[in-house]
Amino acid sequence: MAEKVLMKGNEALAEGAIRAGCRFFAGYPITPQNEVPEYMSWRQEEVGGAFVQAESEVAAVNMLYGAAATGVRSMTSSSSPGVSLKQEGITYLAGSDLPCLIVNVMRGGPGLGSIAGGQADYTQATRGGGNGDYRTIVLAPFSVEELGNFPKKAFELSEKYRIPAMILADGILGQMMEGMSYNFEPVDPAALCVKPWAIGPNTTGRKRNQVYSYGLAEGELEAMVLKRAERYALVERDEVIYEERNTEDADVLIVAYGISARASIAAMEIARAKGIKVGMIRPITLWPFPAKRIAELASKVKAVLCVEMSLGQMKVDVDLAVNGKTPTYLHAKSGAFFPVAEEIAVAIESALNGKKEQLFNLADLAEKATNERAEAKNAPCKEGALL
């Protein structure tokens, strides 16, 4: 077994990308991911790669487009509002079938948000936050070790299917320190296969390539989109990754990813100590989502509990997978708050006993808002009141 070293999550990620053969990085400072570009600024020089601190997130993602088009393993990283600014560039990367790695170390939101960490960028990441029919492969680590080892997997999947890949982490994971080791030998970029589609000066013996995201001839764009959809179908069939714990005899199934999964593991231990049979499935690929396996497990349990640092964004996918086989519930934290084991353990019991009123419910919030608005209309108008 490889010797473990103590590393911060963001630095483990950056070193993992270097070891995976990344030789181009462009980014722009934003907490809580600043250690990634800081680390890349000197490490890329050591390995003969290129580092650019761009003038903006928009510039950084377009530099990524240019580097990825040459076939070099290329990467950018940011945090939630910065990734929002990159969405136009990401859709161009997807439309041009360019493999690359985008990292989002999420903060709370919306807007500027909080640097404390969050998971509310799930929908943006898994649905494609830009325009058009496209997807990105999304990996969700839950430890510093996974954060350091996932870049290699992300690059491999991205190049195999020519789809941009994303690592979706959060501020807590990026800033925490743990013992970790790399489970792969450093990749020599020179040993990687030459990309037949790449552009660049070395065109000896092959035709010159063009990289573009659209076709103007009649039917050309549709053909490009449909051909890409075929690869998406292959990814959904062949590349689903997840982890299960204690699902063999579970009455309650937790679905959680990232830092929420870590808290859920501790909650599961609390519940099991009380005799409650609870298991967990942790999606590692958020897209493709492990819908088929969740559906199989849902048919055997009394309740499914989603634990996430968003207002049910992942639960949408869980509900689609469960398809009414069993009740689904939500334990939600948002706005930079994170779930703790003791609270999740209470939610597990509530889900098992069907106590909806003790769990997060958007319908309850709607009723509360309706009552408050009715009271506000009958009260004297106050400056700044939301009617």
- Using the 3D structure, point to which of 238, 265, 287 is the last residue of a domain: 238
Let me know whether 53 and 143 are in one domain.
Answer: yes
Angle between helices 313-322 and 291-298 (to 10 degrees): 60
Helix (H) or strand (E) holding 101: strand 101-106
Q: Which residue has the higher pLDDT, 11 or 375?
A: 11
The whole-angstrom separation of Cα 271 and Cα 252 is 10
Nearest Cα to Cα of residue 279 among 308, 300, 309, 310: 300
Task: Determine the distance from the C-alpha atom of residue 163 to the mean position of all C-alpha atoms in its chain, rounded to a whole number.
Answer: 15
Is there a cis peptide before residue 141, judged by omega within 30 degrees of 0? Answer: no
| Confidence tier at 126 by pLDDT (50, 70, 90) | very high
- The boundaries of the domain holding residue 307 are 243-366
**Mean pLDDT for the stretch of residues 354-374:** 75
pLDDT exceeds 90 at position 119: yes
Asked, for residue 307, whether it belongs to a domain, the answer is: yes
Let me know whether 113 and 49 are in one domain.
Answer: yes
Q: Indicate which CATH number applies to the domain containing 315.
A: 3.40.50.920
| Confidence tier at 386 by pLDDT (50, 70, 90) | low
Q: Indicate which CATH number applies to the domain containing 192.
A: 3.40.50.970
Segment 307-351, tens digit of pLDDT: 999 999 999 999 999 999 999 999 998 877 888 999 999 999 999
What pTM did the predictor assign?
0.94
**Would strands 50-53 and 252-255 be described as parallel, antiparallel, or unpaired?**
unpaired
**CB distance 17 to 10 below 8 Å:** no
The contacts of residue 254 (CB under 8 Å, 6+ apart) are: 264, 267, 268, 278, 279, 280, 281, 304, 305, 306, 307, 344, 348
pLDDT exceeds 70 at position 381: no
pLDDT in the model for residue 162: 97
Asked, for residue 33, whether it belongs to a domain, the answer is: yes
Number of domains present in the structure of the chain: 2
The contacts of residue 72 (CB under 8 Å, 6+ apart) are: 23, 24, 189
pLDDT in the model for residue 375: 74
The contacts of residue 142 (CB under 8 Å, 6+ apart) are: 173, 257, 258, 259, 261, 262, 282
**CB distance 44 to 94 below 8 Å:** no
The whole-angstrom separation of Cα 262 and Cα 169 is 13
Asked, for residue 382, whether it belongs to a domain, the answer is: no
Asked, for residue 380, whether it belongs to a domain, the answer is: no
**Would strands 242-245 and 278-283 be described as parallel, antiparallel, or unpaired?**
antiparallel
pLDDT in the model for residue 356: 83
Asked, for residue 376, whether it belongs to a domain, the answer is: no
Nearest Cα to Cα of residue 72 among 139, 25, 27: 25
Number of CB atoms found within 10 A of residue 228's CB:
20
Question: What are the two backbone dihedrals, phi and then psi, of residue 366, each rounded to the nearest 5 degrees?
Answer: -65, -40
Asked, for residue 149, whether it belongs to a domain, the answer is: yes
% the chain with pLDDT above 90:
80
The whole-angstrom separation of Cα 312 and Cα 310 is 6
Let me know whether 198 and 341 are in one domain.
Answer: no
Let me know whether 116 and 54 are in one domain.
Answer: yes
Token pair, residue 248, equals 């063999």
Using CA of residue 319, residue 113, residue 12, residue 166, what is the dihedral sign?
positive
- Using the 3D structure, point to which of 205, 238, 271 is the last residue of a domain: 238
pLDDT exceeds 60 at position 203: no
pLDDT exceeds 90 at position 202: no
Let me know whether 135 and 106 are in one domain.
Answer: yes
The whole-angstrom separation of Cα 143 and Cα 173 is 7
Let me know whether 256 and 200 are in one domain.
Answer: no
Let me know whether 232 and 317 are in one domain.
Answer: no
pLDDT exceeds 90 at position 229: yes
Let me know whether 137 and 153 are in one domain.
Answer: yes
Segment 243-293, tens digit of pLDDT: 999 999 999 999 999 999 999 999 999 999 999 999 999 999 999 999 999
The whole-angstrom separation of Cα 66 and Cα 59 is 11
pLDDT exceeds 80 at position 66: yes
% the chain with pLDDT above 70:
94
Let me know whether 26 and 137 are in one domain.
Answer: yes
Angle between helices 341-352 and 258-273 (to 10 degrees): 70
pLDDT exceeds 80 at position 379: no
Segment 211-223, tens digit of pLDDT: 989 888 999 999 9
- Using the 3D structure, point to which of 222, 238, 254 is the last residue of a domain: 238
Let me know whether 51 and 200 are in one domain.
Answer: yes
Asked, for residue 385, whether it belongs to a domain, the answer is: no
Q: Of the given ranges (74-83, 213-222, 372-381), which has the lowest mean pLDDT?
A: 372-381
pLDDT in the model for residue 278: 98
Which residue carries 């579970």 as its tokens?
A: 250
pLDDT exceeds 90 at position 167: yes
Asked, for residue 289, whether it belongs to a domain, the answer is: yes
Let me know whether 218 and 282 are in one domain.
Answer: no
Let me know whether 44 and 156 are in one domain.
Answer: yes
Q: Of the given ranges (119-133, 134-148, 196-210, 222-236), which has the lowest mean pLDDT?
A: 196-210
**CB distance 165 to 102 below 8 Å:** yes
